[in-house]
């Protein structure tokens, strides 16, 4: 029960890594507020998980939706102890062919929206002088690959934001860490993973463990950083990548 009596907000909480975090955290005693744009999977997850789980549909890029999430969570649970910033989107293509709207969408969701919510949560945590922020970044915030310029930039900036928070708010007992997954078997990567030949090449040449991650394995890392077991860890960028960044 590593998160007993703690309230956790998880963005993108209805599917993928967010849902895996919800399932893992609830087993450790957390009260959950799941936030995301897709209402049906969000509410289905909340129903399945049961007591002490809220589903709050909304768009992280809209301040009114972020404000509503904070208001509902505090009204129901009275406090916010942990924020898992998991909501995100992909965007691909050669940089010189990237349309303005694609660039803006990726940065809007992966960075600006995350800032809007984090700012509100930090204000609450400053009052309580306690909290843990766990940001789902990517190995592409540590290294760059072709055809994903906007995504690379958004995750690199997220890593610096996480470290900035750690430095600025550490004196208030607020920790901030980023998890940097490699390829994870989720709905978001399903289309890319459909290229079987390419995926086998990646496993053979870029992943020493010769496989991709399960969402539950990312959730385990998030649980550690969210809990008091990592009480002296802040400002870290934790690759959970099967050895990709060691190559």
Residues recognised as catalytic: 151
Burial class (CB in 10 A: 0-12, 13-18, 19+), 105: middle
In 160-198, which positions are buried (b, 16+ CB within 10 angstroms) versus exposed (e)?
ebbbebbeebeeeebbbbbbbbbbbebeeeeeeeeeeee
Helices (H), 28-148: 39-49, 63-77, 100-107, 114-128
Please check whether residue 94 is in contact with residue 22, taking contact to mean a CB–CB distance below 8 angstroms: no
In the block, residue with structure tokens 């909304």:
58
180 beta partners: 239
Question: Do the Cβ atoms of 45 and 55 come closer than 8 Å?
Answer: yes
- The Cα 82–Cα 78 span in angstroms is 13
């Amino acid at each position: 029960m590593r998160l007993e009596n703690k309230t956790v907000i998880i963005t993108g909480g209805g599917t993928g890594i967010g849902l895996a975090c919800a399932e893992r955290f609830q087993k450790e005693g957390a009260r959950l507020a799941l936030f995301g744009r897709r209402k049906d999977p969000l509410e289905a997850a909340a129903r399945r998980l049961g007591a002490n789980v809220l589903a709050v549909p909304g768009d992280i890029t809209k301040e009114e939706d972020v404000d509503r999430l904070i208001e509902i969570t505090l009204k129901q649970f009275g406090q916010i102890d942990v924020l898992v910033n998991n909501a995100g989107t992909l965007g691909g293509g050669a940089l010189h062919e990237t349309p303005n709207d694609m660039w803006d969408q990726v940065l809007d969701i992966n960075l600006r929206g995350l800032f809007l919510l984090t700012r509100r949560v930090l204000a609450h945590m400053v009052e309580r002088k306690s909290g843990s922020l766990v940001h789902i970044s990517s190995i592409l915030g540590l290294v760059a690959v072709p055809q994903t310029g906007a995504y690379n930039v958004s995750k690199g900036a997220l890593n610096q934001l996480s470290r900035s928070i750690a430095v600025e708010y550490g004196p208030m007992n607020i920790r901030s860490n980023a998890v940097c997954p490699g390829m994870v078997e989720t709905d978001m990567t399903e289309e890319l993973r459909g290229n079987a030949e390419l995926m086998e090449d990646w496993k053979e040449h870029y992943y020493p463990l010769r496989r991709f991650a399960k969402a539950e394995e990312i959730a385990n890392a998030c649980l550690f950083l969210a809990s008091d077991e990592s009480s002296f860890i802040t400002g870290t960028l934790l690759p959970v990548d099967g050895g990709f960044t060691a190559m």
